[in-house]
A and B are shown apart, each in its own frame.
Chain A
Amino acid sequence: MLTIAGQSALRAVRARSTSHALSSHFESSSLARLLSTLAILEQRDGKLNSGSLGAVTAGEKLGGSVHGFIAGKSAKTVAQEASKIKGLEKIIAVENEAYDRGLPENWAPLLVENIKKGGYTHVIAAHSAFGKSLLPRVAALLDVQQISDVMNIEGEDTFVRPIYAGNAILTVQSTDPTKLLTVRQTSFPPAEIEGGSASVEEGADPKAESSTEWISENLAKSDRPELASAEKVVSGGRGLKSKEEFDRLMPPLADALGAAIGASRAAVDSGFADNSLQVGQTGKNVAPQLYLAVGISGAIQHLAGMKDSKVIACINKDPDAPIFQVADVGLVGDLFEKVPELTEKLKSQ
């Protein structure tokens, strides 16, 4: 697939080759040199994080060669798994336990070294907690203005991203020699993890010390689909009134649909649901097939995180709530009656 970005690079090469009367052989190798992307792949306990594979998809959209980057204790094992990712030409692996926790203090020098060594024109990471924490630090070390939360690639230097909580869409052109991007996971679905045959190469390891020590983590356990990648999401807001009601009504509804559970900021702030479930400008972005908002009014900060969902449904007792303006299916009613009824009827289907 030759994309807009590929074509404009090709034009650049052609322009140069006309003036310098270069051979067509050089033309194609120039193209390869002109566009090369390093996609940062996340791994956890030796398992590839599929959420980070949107970086590969974005790299493919750019055109040119795409290399994957993996670091950590079992980097080489994960690299073998990742070598099957469709679209990857090569994997750069750095096997060192020091990178397991994804600390930006030692990851940033690691990436800078490998970006310079590989002469990459583009470096892409997912707009995840890890990507957001790391890539700006790398950008500063490279003296580059990074572009965050990219939702579309229009050319090798032209990118589209949301600003003002998604109330405006900005198209920017970068003048930096290396483009650093974090990409929106809902805009760039994960690359397929089969069909590829990338080679694995050992990367450079500057062995920088991390000035930060990782102490512990406390991750919310869930058997449900992961919120950011779920096909269906049911989300609860302040209308649920208490944590008890949230826990009584939302999980059965989610289970009846096979959906992940989300929440509005109001619900999270009131302690009804865990922080990690927050959907919106300052929480997660989701774009499932179905987003069902229960007791959520639809403030702009919330809509920022879910308005790219394919179908939006809502249950709210206030017929004037802004959520009805974006919902494909809106039901005005008391959620304490409607949610149990909906759950029962879905289960009996």
Chain B
Amino acid sequence: MSSKLRILVPVKRVIDYAVKPRVKSDRTGVETSGVKHSLNPFDELSIEEAVRLRERKQPVEDILAVSAGPAKCADTLRTAMAMGADRSIHVDVPEDKPLEPLGVAKLLKAIAEKEKSNLIILGKQAIDDDAAQTGQMLAGLLNWPQATQASKVSIDNDTVTVEREVDGGVETLRAKLPMIITTDLRLNEPRYASLPNIMKAKKKKLEKKTLGDYGVDATSRLKTIKVEEPPVRQGGGKVEDVDGMIKKLKDLGAL
């Protein structure tokens, strides 16, 4: 007998991938106010995959999108619902005290247990902190199997087969539900939310919660000492032709 899929999709609101982040002059972080934010691109893939599982006639009972962060995360969740998530939970976390991956993993564990999730699809990394940890941490805390950097997912009853990107190629793993999957770029091509679906998403349920509601202590373990601009590379200018290129590469000791 196959179980009904109750999919949990954690999503993060991040500075849009096309924006070049600017380091604050006091070196405490990156300027976020007045900067365009979007759904983390890898999380779009997670939502898309969950919706496609339903479209492939898998017994998907529920797709729940969750985000932890300031009030504006609600917009991110509306986007996720416009793409096909059924409902969402916004866990309010003050903007000046963002959670670390370990804190997020603890929160997600509590939510997954409460919501009886049996498949959790996360992005492989958020493009702001580039940590690539939350999915694996959550898998460890729940003691569930994990398949990170997935490029293909297929489900047959309770058995999940995942192709994952590894150094030098792909690897295929198989595990039983419940399971954690993190998405790689090759997994799918996320759809755009259509206007009618954006309108419909406004009527979908968005619950507001706090860390306290889940009894999660997510105290930070890391202290930011400083955030700096990377050293600027000086472009060395252009050469006229191929001979010029070879000569300059030799001068620079690269050939």
Give chain A's interface residues, CB within 8 Å of chain B. 51, 103-105, 108, 128-130, 132-141, 143-149, 158, 161-176, 210-220, 228, 232, 257, 265, 269, 274-276, 281-282, 284, 289-290, 300-301, 307, 310-313, 315, 319, 324-333, 338, 341-342, 345-346, 349
Contacts and interface: CB of A to CB of B under 8 A. Distances in A.
B224 A136 contact: no
Contacts of A176: 221
Interface string B138-156: 1111011111110100000
A178 B15 CA distance: 31
Interface stretch (B46-54, B77-85, B124-132, B204-212): B124-132
A214 to B, nearest CB: 6
Contact of A138 (B105, B140, B224): B140
Contacts of B131: 146, 148
Interface of B: 15, 17, 20-21, 23, 30, 100-102, 105, 124-125, 127-141, 143-149, 151, 161, 165-176, 184-186, 220-230, 233, 235-239, 241-246, 248-249, 252-255
Contact of B139 (A137, A217, A282, A311): A137
Given A168-B21, A290-B249, A313-B254, A281 B225 contact: no
Given A220-B169, A326-B233, A330-B238, A139 B128 contact: no
A304 to B, nearest CB: 9
B-side binding surface: helix, strand, loop or mixed? mixed
Contact of A331 (B30, B135, B241, B252): B241
Given A164-B127, A172-B224, A325 B235 contact: yes
A139 B130 contact: no
A132 B148 contact: yes
A300 B165 contact: no
A163 B129 contact: yes
A332 B238 contact: yes
10 contacts: A51-B167, A104-B139, A141-B141, A148-B133, A163-B130, A164-B127, A211-B145, A215-B173, A284-B167, A325-B233
